[in-house]
A and B are shown apart, each in its own frame.
Chain A
Amino acid sequence: MSKEKVTRRVFVSWIFLGWTLFLACLGGLGTMLLRYLFPNVLFEPSQSFKAGYPENYAVGEVSLLWKSKHGVWIVRTAEGLYALSAVCTHLGCTPNWLSGEKKFKCPCHGSGFRFSGINFEGPAPRPLERFKILLGDDGQILVDKTKKFQQEKGEWNDPASFLAI
C-alpha cells in the first residue's frame, strides 16, 4: 500500500467540511429541541371561560366550582364579584379555602390569605392575583386569565378586576 500524501489544503478542507456537518447536525438537533417545547396541540382548558350567571353566587361565599379545571375561585361580596387565582404567591402550590376560618390556607408552607386574597400569614410575600372578570353579552360572567391584576402594583383598582353588581 502506498502511503497517501495529504496536503495541507486537503486537510483543511476536510476539517472544514467535518465541522460544518457537525455544527449543522447540532443546529438541527437544537432546532428540533426548541420546536419540541411548542407542542402542536395543547390540551389545556382555554384561558378564558364562562362562569355562569352572577345570581348563582351567594354573597359572602367563595365558589370552588372552577378551581379544579381553571384554577380560579370566584368570590361574591355584597358589592360584586372577583376572580382569584388559585396559585399561592409563595411557591405556587394550590391553597385550600377553609370556610370555617374564612381564609385560604396553603398546605406547602402555611401561607394564609384572607377572603379578599390579601396575604396575612406565612411566607407569601404578596396577595393572590385576580383575573379579569366581566359580564358577557349573554349575561354570563366571563373570566379572562390572560389578564391578571396584582394588588401590590395597585392594579386592584382597575375596574376590569372587579365585577360590580
Chain B
Amino acid sequence: MEAIKNFINACAVPSRMFPVIVLLFFFVFPVNSFFEKYNKLFFLDRLWTKKGGIFLFSTLTMFLSIGMLDENFRHTVSKPDNLPIVGLIYASLFFLWVALSQARENDLRLEKNEKPKEWHDSQEKILVWPDLVSIELIAMLFALGFLFTWGILVDAPLEEPANLATSPNPAKAPWYFLALQEMLVYFDPALAGVIFPTLIVVGLMAIPYIDNNHKATGYYTFKERKLAITIFLFGWIILWLFMMVIGTILRGPNWNFYGPFEYWDPHKVEALTNINLSEYLYVIGLNMGLPGNIFIREAPGIFLISLYFIGGGFLLTKTVFKNLFKSLGPLRYSFFLVLLLFATSLPIKMTLRWLFNLKYIVSIPEFFFNI
C-alpha cells in the first residue's frame, strides 16, 4: 500500500503528470485519424458506452474511497472547502459521459448513413409555459433543498479575523478561482489576473461567431465537430478543471506541490529557483553580465514571443489549419488563431517553468511588464 501511495505521489508531480494527461487527452478525444486509430486500438472509444461509464464511475469511486483510508488524502479531500471539487469531478465526468455517449451513438448511425437519433424525436410542439417552466421550477426547488441541506450539514470553514499582515498558508482562492490562481504561478499578475481572464470570457463569447460549421445542429456528434469539441474540451478539462484540482488537492503550504497522499509539511524544501530567459542567455550562455539597455536585454524574449505568434500562426495556417482557413475566411480565422495561440501559451509556459525553471521570457520589471 505504501509503495502504491508513494508511486502515486511521485506520478502526481505536475511535470510528470501533465504531459501524460495531455497525451491521454488526445487519445481519448481523437482529433485526427492518427489518434483515432489508437483510440480504437486501446478501446478508448468504449469509455462512452454504458459499460465504459460504469467503469469510469467505479474507478473514480474506488480511488476516492480507498484513498480516504489515508489520513493525508482524507484531510484534503474532505475539507468543507474542497467538497465542491469532489462533486465537480463527478458531475463533469457524468455530463461528459452523457454527451459523448450520445455523440458516439449518433456517430455510429451516421457511419451507416442513418439519421441521428434526435431525428426521430417527436415533432409535437411543447409550450414553454407551463411545460418547461414547471420542470424548471421543480429542478430549482430540488437544487434549493440540496443547498439548504448542505448548508446545514457542513459548516462553512470560518477562520480567525482577517489580518493584513498574515496570509493564511496556503492562501487559497475560492475553489472556482483556483485555476486562475494556478495560472498566476506561471505568469505576471497583469497577464494571469487581467488579460487571460478577459480573453477567456471574450473567447467564449466569440465562439458562436467564429464557428460556422452548421453540421451537428440539433444532435450530438463528435466526428463531425472533432476540432471544435477537442479545443473546447482541452480548455475545459485540462486548462480549467485539471488546474482546479491541482490547486485544491495538490497545493499545500507555501504553495508547494504535495502528492495526494503526502503530508503537508510546511517545511518541505523544493528547489524551485528560477531565472529569466535573458539571464539564461547572457549570464549562463554568453558568460557576461546583463546588458544595461532594457531592449537589448529583452530582445531574445521579444523575438521568441513574436516568433511564436507570427511564425507559429503562419505555420499552423500552412499545415494543419489549411482547410479551416478556407472555410472560416481570413477575419474569423485570425480571431480563432489568436485565441488559440493565447490558450496554448499557457501549457507551454507551464512546461517551460517545470523543465527549465524559466521564470519569464520577457522580463521588464522596470515597467511591470513580464511575459
Contacts and interface: CB of A to CB of B under 8 A. Distances in A.
A24 interface: no
B366 A153 contact: yes
A61 B346 CA distance: 39
A121 B185 contact: no
B184 A96 contact: no
Contacts of A101: 267, 269
Contacts of B212: none
Interface string B145-172: 0000000000000000001111111110
Interface residues of A, number: 29
Given A109-B255, A110-B185, A123-B184, A94 B360 contact: no
A106 B168 CA distance: 10
Given A101-B269, A107-B255, A123-B359, A96 B186 contact: no
Nearest to B366: A152
A90 interface: yes
Interface in A58-99: 67-69, 71, 86, 90-91, 93-96, 98
Given A91-B193, A121-B274, A122-B274, A109 B165 contact: no
B359 A94 contact: no
A122 B185 CA distance: 7
Interface string B123-140: 000000000000000000
A121 B272 contact: yes
Interface in B89-117: none
A96 B187 CA distance: 21
A113 to B, nearest CB: 12
A110 B256 contact: yes
Given A110-B272, A125-B365, A94 B184 contact: no
Contacts of B255: 106-110, 122
B273 interface: yes
A107 B363 contact: no
A71 B165 CA distance: 6
A107 B164 contact: no
Interface in B331-371: 359-360, 363, 365-366, 368, 370
A126 interface: yes
A97 B168 CA distance: 13
A139 interface: no
Nearest to B266: A98
A43 to B, nearest CB: 13
B301 to A, nearest CB: 13
Nearest to A71: B165
Nearest to A114: B273
Contact of B187 (A67, A98, A123, A153): A123
Interface of A: 67-69, 71, 86, 90-91, 93-96, 98, 100-101, 105-110, 112, 120-123, 125-126, 152-153
Contacts of B184: 90-91, 108-109, 123
A154 to B, nearest CB: 10
Contacts of A98: 254, 267
Given A94-B164, A106-B255, A121 B170 contact: no
B189 A91 contact: yes
A123 B254 contact: no
The 8 closest A-B pairs by CB, nearest first: A110-B255, A107-B169, A126-B365, A121-B272, A68-B165, A93-B167, A152-B365, A109-B185
A46 to B, nearest CB: 15
A20 to B, nearest CB: 39
Contacts of B366: 152-153
B253 interface: yes
Contacts of B365: 125-126, 152
Contacts of A120: 273-274
Given A86-B165, A121-B274, 5 more contacts: A67-B165, A95-B167, A98-B254, A108-B170, A125-B360
Contacts of A95: 167
Contact of B254 (A90, A107, A126, A153): A107
14 contacts: A86-B165, A93-B171, A95-B167, A107-B170, A107-B255, A108-B170, A109-B181, A109-B255, A110-B254, A122-B255, A123-B184, A123-B188, A125-B363, A125-B365
